[in-house]
Amino acid sequence: MATTTLHPAAQTYRSTLYEWLTTTDHKKIGILYLINSMIFFISGGILALVVRLQLALPANSSTMGGLVSDDFYNQAFTMHASFMLFLFIIPILAGFGNYAVPLQIGAPDMAFPRINALSFWMLPLGGLLMASGFLVSGGAAASGWTEYPPLSAGFDPTTGLQYNGTGTDLWIMGLVLIGTSSILGAINFLVTIFKMRAPGMTLFRMSILTWTVLVTSVLVLMATPVLTSALIMLFIDRNYGGQFFVAGPGGGQVVLYQNVFWFYSHPAVYIMILPAMGIVSEVLPVFSRKPLFGYKAFVFATVGIGALGFSVWAHHMFTTGQVFLPFFSLMTFLIAVPTGVKMFNWIATLWRGKLVFSTPLLFAFGFLMMFLIGGLNGAFSAAVPVDFALHDTYWVVAHLHYVLFGGSVFGVFAGIYYWFPKMTGRMLDETLGKVQFVLMFIGFNLTFFPMHQLGLLGMPRRIAQYASNAGWSELNQIATIGGFVIAASVLPFLWNVLVSLRSGKIAGDDPWEANTLEWATSSPPPPYNFDHLPEIRSERPVFDARHRRTAATSTASH
């Protein structure tokens, strides 16, 4: 027989676990990002509780019957910040981008699906490398998340002191991996947005989240490699006798590290907030039943923040005496302008809207209020004399938590409640959601508002102990109680996810009557996302389709 028969590929059995571990589907990878980030959110949160417990009492030290040694305290706050910034906020926002952007532009997947899987899997790897510092002698990285030399530079030839052990090297290599993951992700987002948009989806018809992911990706692409270079120079100094940051004759400059580090880390704060702004800008129009007020103004403000973001890094270094103060102060005030524009966009969107008080809107409100405070107390610190007084005090801790927790984290939870129905096909429970919001809102303010006063009273950040007569005890105790309220607020959330996955209300394609394309497909969407797309003639194609159909049927019935 000279015939060739083509056998259909044998039906192979793939376990769900295998499916998830090897997936290149952007939706599954997006969900993996969220899960991985939540694990590090909880780990970082536990470390924060260690910090708060330590500070609850003055002069608290393990030698005096306190909770942890000063050494472990340093590791705790360093790893708390590293987990929260690099392994929670940045990746979870990338996770939302991964899930939503291809859907919102009407694409079947990301441009490079396998590179997408690679960028995800580098994250747990980098995170484990970082966390494995706790297992080696000398412990994890302990010089603060900024890892300034000389504290982080290892061996100091002038004093003969070994500051830091292998933990810092693990931290550096972990962060290089995480950074590479970010860069590959950013390239993927940019190519996807430029090459994979559906017919009719012009740039100015893209959802605001897509715009913020676009600008964020440019920031990642331009800034993160500079962090990589800073980390590699630090690694060379620590391990191969490099002289980059070792002061002394023939030696390098300590402040050089700060310059290169903040050239990344200031744009990074916009990497950490812009997609959260995008999420809030998706939620507010849907739950106030109005289009976003000033779509183009919002887009230009986002681009403006991205551009100005590269010219303000040295405001972290005012007190070094090595930066040109007027320039960086002015630029820092300037960057408050586009942020203010967005604030007006959001308020005007709500104005006279028909508000639907679902949990996503509550978290978006939380974002608006807390981010406003964070923005204002940040603008204070842009004034050089104020900054000199407040530098490295708890004021800064209050400011960054109002922006990154009050801003980004509230935005993240708004996003989770908003897209959970799309991701799983089931609604999260509204009552538990509201309980979580109220607890988190109260706990957050209880923890971080007193830190403003602590900063004004002169309490420096990153100290393990303080004198009982410093007058900081009560405020610290309030903050510690607040920290546990925040921790308690995460429990109803976890319970909510577990219960709703099994028995939540069935969501349907479009439970919120939303605007953007992801709501035009089923929940959860099929592989490759769309069977057919609605016409795209504005930034609200699903809204258009819904109302055109209503209009058409009503004309027909008359």
Chain contacts with another protein (rule: CB under 8 A): 111-112, 183, 186-188, 190-191, 194-197, 199-202, 221-226, 228-230, 232-233, 236-237, 240-244, 250-253, 256, 259-260, 263, 532-537, 545, 548-549, 552
Give the nearest distance from C-beta 226 to another protein in angstroms: 4
Q: Which two tokens stand for residue 25?
A: 């589907």
**Of 80, 91, 51, 66, the residue nearest 140 (C-alpha):** 80
The dihedral through the CA atoms of 67, 397, 93, 126 has a sign that is: negative
Give the nearest distance from C-beta 326 to another protein in angstroms: 21
Give the nearest distance from C-beta 328 to another protein in angstroms: 17
User: How many helices (DSSP H) and strands (DSSP E) are in the chain?
Assistant: 17, 2
454 CB-near residues (< 8 Å, 6+ apart): 393, 394, 395, 398, 472, 475, 476, 479
Full 3-state SS string of 28-79: HHHHHHHHHHHHHHHHHHHHHHHHHHHHHCCCCCHHHCCCCCHHHHHHHHHH
Judged by beta carbon, residue 252 or residue 360, the one nearer another protein is 252
Give the nearest distance from C-beta 55 to another protein in angstroms: 36
CA within 13 Å, CB half, 130: 31
Give the nearest distance from C-beta 186 to another protein in angstroms: 8
Q: Which two tokens stand for residue 429?
A: 């429970």
Judged by beta carbon, residue 229 or residue 424, the one nearer another protein is 229
Judged by beta carbon, residue 166 or residue 188, the one nearer another protein is 188
Give the nearest distance from C-beta 256 to another protein in angstroms: 5
Q: Are the beta carbons of 339 and 375 closer than 8 angstroms? A: yes
Judged by beta carbon, residue 48 or residue 110, the one nearer another protein is 110
Judged by beta carbon, residue 162 or residue 431, the one nearer another protein is 162
Burial of 242 from C-beta contacts in 10 A (0-12 / 13-18 / 19+): middle
Helices (H), 199-289: 208-239, 254-288
Judged by beta carbon, residue 299 or residue 372, the one nearer another protein is 299
Judged by beta carbon, residue 8 or residue 250, the one nearer another protein is 250
Give the nearest distance from C-beta 221 to another protein in angstroms: 5
Q: Give the angle subtended at the CA of 397 by the CAs of 33 and 472, to the nearest 5°.
A: 135
Backbone Cα Rg of the chain: 25
Q: Which two tokens stand for residue 236?
A: 């060379």
Judged by beta carbon, residue 14 or residue 548, the one nearer another protein is 548
Judged by beta carbon, residue 8 or residue 160, the one nearer another protein is 160
Neighbours of 158 (CB within 10 A): 9
Give the nearest distance from C-beta 384 to another protein in angstroms: 23
Tell me how far apart the alpha carbons of residues 273 and 412 are, in angstroms, rounded to a whole number: 10
Which residues partner with 140 through β-bridges?
167
Tell me how far apart the alpha carbons of residues 527 and 25 are, in angstroms, rounded to a whole number: 7
Give the nearest distance from C-beta 261 to another protein in angstroms: 10
